[in-house]
Amino acid sequence: MRDDVLAHLHDILHAARAVKEFVADQSFEHYSGSEVLRSAVERKFEIMGEALNRINRDAPALLPQIRIYRDIISFRNILVHAYDAIDERIAWGVIQEDLDSLIQDVTRLLE
């Protein structure tokens, strides 16, 4: 695997783990009420989405091995281009329901 693709995978893994750490032991109410926490989480999703975009450019055959890559790229696009339409419940749902599978898939690819 190319070094730049490996770097993107590491960026995704680091960002996803950071999100998990940011929201550990937090409720949705705390998350939705904290601009600082939401901003930190959204920034990490932007990083994950951009890294996946770059993998798509450099090694597109790799992406199907990451189950939710389309969702993360789409969410990144919303964050960047439609920031005023962000629904905290969607971000919270991705964190609670999908982020673990992203971590698993990327970890497997890095092994």
Three-point CA angle 103, 109, 111, nearest 5°:
100
Residue among 43, 81, 89, 108 flagged as catalytic: 81
CA distances to 24, 27, 33, 50, 80 from 12, in Å: 18, 24, 26, 9, 17
Q: Establish whether 81 is a catalytic residue.
A: yes
Q: How many Å apart are CA 66 and CA 101, to the nearest integer?
A: 8
Residue among 14, 30, 70, 76 flagged as catalytic: 76
Q: Establish whether 14 is a catalytic residue.
A: no
Q: What share of the chain is helix, strand, coil (3-state, %, to 5)?
A: 85, 0, 15
Q: By the 8 A CB rule, do 83 and 26 touch?
A: no
Could you give the residue numbers annotated as active site? 76, 81
